Amino acid sequence: MNLIIWAIAVIIFIILEIVTIQLVSVWLAGGALITMLAVLFSEISVTGQLILFALSSCILLAVTFPLAKKIRNRKHIPTNSELNVGKQAIVTEEINTHTGTGRVSLDGIYWKAVSDEIIPINSTVTVIAIEGTTLTVYSGD
């Protein structure tokens, strides 16, 4: 096998990795790159190239997989705004999707608010979602 075949293999494995984003072919791309460099600098038989490709891919997998797994399985730490979901807020401006109005006070901070229902001023609402600076609320009545 020659240098061009290994270069094509590297490109194919990288494209597969980009498409899948599952850390499936990144090790194969690394193995193909190592084999390509070995072919570039020395004469290696086809059998030797295939063995080098398999070994280098396996070594890269064994070395980096635990790190990749640790990074992928990090526990999600909620942001301050996500911690507001489930809290109670007071309506300071009638919430009405037809007129585009709606503001609430949550822990002393005023937020734009939306709801599927019309909710009058001074009502207590529950935050069910946050998108940007807008709270989605419901009255629970």
Within a domain: 133: yes
pLDDT of amino acid 19: 86
Within a domain: 127: yes
7 and 60 in a single domain? The answer is: yes
DSSP symbol at 119:
B
pLDDT of amino acid 35: 95
Within a domain: 77: no
Single-letter amino acid, residue 136 = T
Answer positive or negative: Cα dihedral of 36, 39, 44, 45: positive
What's the pLDDT tens digit per position in 1-50? 688 999 999 999 999 888 887 777 888 999 999 999 999 999 999 999 99
CATH number reported for the structural domain that contains residue 116 in this entry? 2.40.50.140
Instruction: Report the relative pairing of strands 124-131 and 109-114 from DSSP bridges.
Output: unpaired
Q: Are 34 and 58 in contact (CB under 8 A)?
A: no
pLDDT of amino acid 23: 73
In terms of C-beta distances under 8 Å and separation of at least 24 residues, what long-range contacts does 105-111 make, across chains too? 106/135, 111/135
